[in-house]
């Protein structure tokens, strides 16, 4: 009875089988960090890492992601190949929205049967990511404004403003202002706006007797994130401009009313002083004065002494001239426009019928005059009648605007040359010759 002497010990053996049943380990996914973005941010990417089937398993995996606030963050798009340890979520915030949303990401494996279609044995893990979209002040809106063309001395004008909003679905208080870059023509407009409506108006009256151009800048400003127009640091603005062209209108000339005069019979010559003679407000056209007596047997009209324009120069008879007045206009325009302008002023483009007249008129023409801004040649009143019976290129059919033929030849060498088949007006070269 000694276990220490095994030679005579008796033994019996029995066996037990231990069966370890497989258990599906849950898959894994690393924790996700909170995401903070601004309102109207572009597409966002969230990286997924640490993806496994769990416990050394190799089942196929699927990943889904859902948002609890799709009005802010839509359900993300998942990029995952079913086996890798990484993947991505992609989403774009809804425009003009801010707030928070929680995205729930689920990784699911195929269970013991490695079949995602039999969910009873599938394992899963959930991770969440909080997305915060911070509010951003959207710029207010204002519809574009059309250019305006007016005539000098037009009445009060109204410009309608439309499409006024705080922008991006916002509701802050708004302010509308407008300024003119040329208040000598268009004063700063008066604005009518109630602070919230989608429409308003500008009103302005052009300054009398002025013409030219002006640009009005209209600014809509909102109160920013704090809805306080008095704290401009966070305010949003939008600017619109309207270009205004005021065309000149020929104002009537002026003459101060004359007083009644009483004369003694056979008094002789009497002089009536004419005062206040102008071409009209801010105008400089040549003037013609005439006088008519209702009874020439009682009062006959003598000479009227008046110089048409302070810029006009008379070619006097004493100096070999014709007594006409000439004026050079240092303005860049087409021949047709120059001819029309001369007619409007009661004259015509110069017709040069002698070498003496040509020399006199040319003496009035500045040559590249920096002071006046005049650079280039000057038109005179010769043209080629391309519909006339005598028309031929390049010399046939030339005449003055008064209908006279050439009285002498002053062509510059090589002219007229019909350059580009369009040459049919006459102008001075610097040399005084024509081309």
How many structural domains does the chain have? 3
Strands (E), 98-165: 99-109, 124-134, 148-151, 157-161
Both 123 and 193 in a single domain? no
What share of residues in the chain are helix, strand, coil (percent, to 5)?
10, 30, 65
pLDDT tens series, the chain, 435 aa: 788 888 888 888 999 988 877 889 999 999 999 999 999 999 999 999 999 999 899 999 999 999 999 999 999 999 999 989 999 999 999 999 999 999 999 999 999 999 999 999 999 999 999 999 999 999 999 999 999 999 999 999 999 999 999 998 899 999 999 999 999 999 999 999 999 899 999 999 999 989 999 999 999 999 999 999 999 999 999 999 999 999 988 888 888 888 888 878 777 777 777 777 787 877 777 777 778 888 888 877 766 655 555 566 777 777 788 777 787 777 777 888 888 877 776 678 888 888 888 888 888 877 665 555 455 678 888 888 777 777 777 778 888 888 877 766 788 887 877 765 656 788 888 778 887
How many other C-beta atoms are found inside a 10 Å radius of the C-beta of residue 172? 22
Tokens representing 211?
């013409």
| DSSP per-residue letters across 397-424 | TEEETTSPPPSS--BPTT----GGG---
Both 164 and 120 in a single domain? no
Both 242 and 182 in a single domain? yes
Both 411 and 321 in a single domain? yes
Instruction: Decide if 85 contacts 128 (C-beta within 8 A).
Output: no
In a domain, 280, yes or no: no
Cis peptide before 45 (omega within 30 of 0): no
Picking from 100, 134, 168, the residue at the C-terminal end of a domain is 134
- 426 sits in which H/E element: strand 425-428
Helices (H), 285-371: 335-344, 355-363
pLDDT for residue 376: 62
How far out from the chain centre does Cα 426 lie?
A: 39
pLDDT for residue 419: 64
SS3 assignment, position 343: helix
Distance CA(336)–CA(338), nearest Å, equals 5
Residues near 267 by beta carbon (within 8 Å), at least 6 away in sequence:
none
Both 83 and 109 in a single domain? yes
In a domain, 3, yes or no: no
pLDDT for residue 18: 86
Both 98 and 164 in a single domain? no
Distance CA(30)–CA(346), nearest Å, equals 93
List beta partners, residue 200.
161
Both 112 and 153 in a single domain? no
In a domain, 4, yes or no: no
In a domain, 302, yes or no: no
Instruction: Decide if 273 contacts 175 (C-beta within 8 A).
Output: no
Both 129 and 155 in a single domain? no
pLDDT for residue 434: 82
Among residues 110, 47, 114, which one has the least CA distance to residue 78?
47
In a domain, 223, yes or no: yes
First-to-last CA distance in the chain? 150
Distance CA(17)–CA(95), nearest Å, equals 65
Both 188 and 128 in a single domain? no
- CATH number, position 419: 3.10.100.10
In a domain, 287, yes or no: no
In a domain, 402, yes or no: yes
Both 320 and 416 in a single domain? yes
Both 126 and 166 in a single domain? no
Find the domain containing 128 and state its range.
Answer: 35-134
Picking from 247, 270, 285, the residue at the C-terminal end of a domain is 247
Picking from 99, 134, 169, the residue at the C-terminal end of a domain is 134
Both 91 and 125 in a single domain? yes
- CATH number, position 74: 2.60.40
In a domain, 17, yes or no: no
Tell me the backbone φ, ψ of residue 319, rounded to 5 degrees: -100, 25
Q: What is the pTM of this model?
A: 0.56
């Amino acid at each position: 009875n000694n276990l220490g002497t095994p030679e005579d010990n008796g033994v019996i053996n029995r066996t037990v089988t231990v069966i370890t049943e497989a258990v599906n380990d849950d898959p894994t996914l690393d924790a996700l960090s909170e995401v903070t973005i601004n309102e109207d941010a572009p597409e966002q990417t969230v990286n997924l890492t640490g993806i496994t089937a769990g416990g050394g398993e190799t089942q196929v995996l699927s990943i889904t992601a859902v948002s609890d606030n799709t009005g802010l963050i839509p359900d993300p798009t998942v990029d995952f190949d079913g086996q890798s340890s990484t993947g991505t979520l992609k989403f774009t915030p809804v425009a003009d929205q801010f707030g928070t949303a929680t995205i729930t990401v689920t990784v699911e494996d195929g269970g013991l049967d490695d079949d995602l279609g039999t969910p009873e044995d599938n394992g899963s893990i959930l991770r969440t990511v909080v997305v915060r979209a911070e509010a951003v002040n959207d710029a207010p809106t204002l519809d574009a404004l059309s250019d305006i063309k007016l005539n000098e001395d037009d009445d009060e004008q109204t410009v309608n403003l439309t499409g006024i909003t705080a922008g991006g679905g916002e509701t802050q208080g708004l302010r509308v202002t407008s300024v003119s870059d040329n208040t000598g023509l268009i004063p700063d407009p008066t604005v009518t706006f109630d602070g919230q409506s989608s429409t308003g108006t500008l009103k302005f009256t052009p300054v009398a007797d002025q013409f030219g151009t002006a640009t009005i800048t209209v600014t809509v400003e909102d109160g920013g994130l704090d809805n306080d127009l008095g704290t401009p640091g966070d305010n949003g603005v939008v600017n619109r401009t309207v270009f205004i062209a005021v065309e000149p209108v020929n104002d009537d000339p002026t003459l101060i009313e004359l007083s009644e005069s009483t004369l003694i019979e056979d008094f002789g010559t009497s002089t009536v002083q004419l005062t206040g003679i102008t071409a009209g407000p801010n105008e400089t056209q040549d003037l013609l004065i005439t006088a008519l007596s209702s009874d020439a047997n009682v009062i006959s009209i003598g000479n009227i002494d008046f110089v048409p324009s302070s810029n006009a120069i008379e070619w006097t008879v004493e100096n070999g001239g014709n007594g006409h007045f000439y004026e050079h206009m240092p303005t860049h325009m087409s021949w047709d426009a120059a001819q029309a302008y001369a007619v409007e002023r009661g004259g015509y483009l110069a017709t040069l019928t002698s070498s003496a007249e040509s020399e006199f008129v040319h003496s009035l023409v500045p040559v590249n005059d920096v002071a006046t801004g005049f650079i280039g040649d000057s038109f005179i009143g010769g043209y080629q009648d391309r519909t006339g019976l005598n028309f031929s290129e390049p010399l046939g059919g030339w005449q003055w605007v008064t209908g006279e033929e050439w009285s002498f030849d002053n062509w510059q060498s090589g002219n007229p040359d019909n350059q580009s088949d369009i040459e049919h007006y006459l102008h001075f070269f610097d040399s005084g010759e024509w081309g």
